Amino acid sequence: MSNKTQNSLFHYIISNSDIDDIQSRFISYKLELGNVKTIKAIKKTEVDVYIFTTDVGGFTIKTVNLPIPITRISKINV
């Protein structure tokens, strides 16, 4: 597997969708595992649901629009 391929997929996703960078990195990793070399198009079909057209076929991508959970904040004396 090539980091170069994963990076180019990541940059395409970031540039052509509103998917955040953490999810985009994971999606690019999973697509690379599926031997995807290029993404031809990204189409948003519903809220947080996308169809990716690639050189090896289509993929349905479901993202999550949640903030990073903060479980606890405590003040400390410095």
For residue 27, give its domain range.
Answer: 3-62
More confident residue, 53 or 72: 53
User: What is the CB neighbour count within 10 angstroms for residue 30?
Assistant: 14
Whether residue 73 lies inside any domain: the answer is no
In a domain, 11, yes or no: yes
- Whether 67 maps to a domain, the answer reads no
Asked whether residue 36 is domain-assigned, the answer is yes
Q: What domain count does the chain have? A: 1
Inter-residue contact 11 to 19 (CB < 8 Å): no
72 within a domain of the structure (yes/no): no
Predicted structure pTM score: 0.81
12 contacts: CB under 8 Å, gap ≥ 6: 38, 39, 42
CA angle 5, 13, 55 (to 5 degrees): 55
Is 75 a member of any domain? no
Could you tell me the strand order of the sheet in which 57-62 lies?
39-46, 49-54, 57-62
Convert the pLDDT of each residue in 11-38 to its tens digit.
999 999 999 888 999 999 999 999 999 9
